[in-house]
Amino acid sequence: MGMNIDELATRRYLFKFYHEADISRIINDGPWTFDKSLLLLKRLSDTEDPLDIDLNTAEFWVQVHGLPPGFRSEAVLRGVGDFIGVVYHCDERNFDGSTRSFFRIRITIDVTKPLKKGMRLKKEDGDWIQIEFRYERLPTFCFICGLLGHSDKFCNRRVQGWDPLSEKTYGSELRAGFRRNIPTGGNR
């Protein structure tokens, strides 16, 4: 176990791990933050130069809420995920036979673009439904522009004349609630 960290440039670091299990855990269990700021990570091959790597994507578990019966399939979830970013993995528990209030997809998101709040789906009868997205472990993001990495206090739109009295387009509803273990019954 263990790792070394080298600072390569301003805000660019190289993490060196000694065991494959550590690398896999760090890559697969993210996203990771430091001081509420997102850490963008990329696994390098032996031939890649760490200073030449674009760091503009991160993987998130995204919860899809409001998906009605008839739309609850892996193919639909993958289509929804492709609207958000690039689907990496669907939660294997999505279709285990239990009733779900939401479905989970692991998605690679371009952090240079605003977060997606939801999307509309057309039912067979022609009616439209709205589904909503919630991001697990979502770090600091702007309620004005929807970008990760800054809060609305530091948004460039404020400088460009955004009216602080107008309604913000994004809100805390994009954050998924914390997952807590529900205690089992027992004697007091």
Q: Which mean pLDDT values do the consecutive 10-residue runs of the chain (188 residues) have? A: 89 91 88 88 91 93 92 93 95 84 94 96 91 95 93 84 79 80 39
Residue found under tokens 């790792």: 3
Q: Could you give the C-alpha distances from 97 to 6, 137, 146, 171, in angstroms and in order? A: 47, 26, 35, 32
Model pLDDT, residue 179: 55
Q: Which of 103, 106, 101, 102 is nearest to 82 (CA)?
A: 106
d(CA 169, CA 29): 29
CB atoms within 10 A of CB 3: 12
Model pLDDT, residue 183: 38
144 CA to centre of own chain: 18
Model pLDDT, residue 60: 95
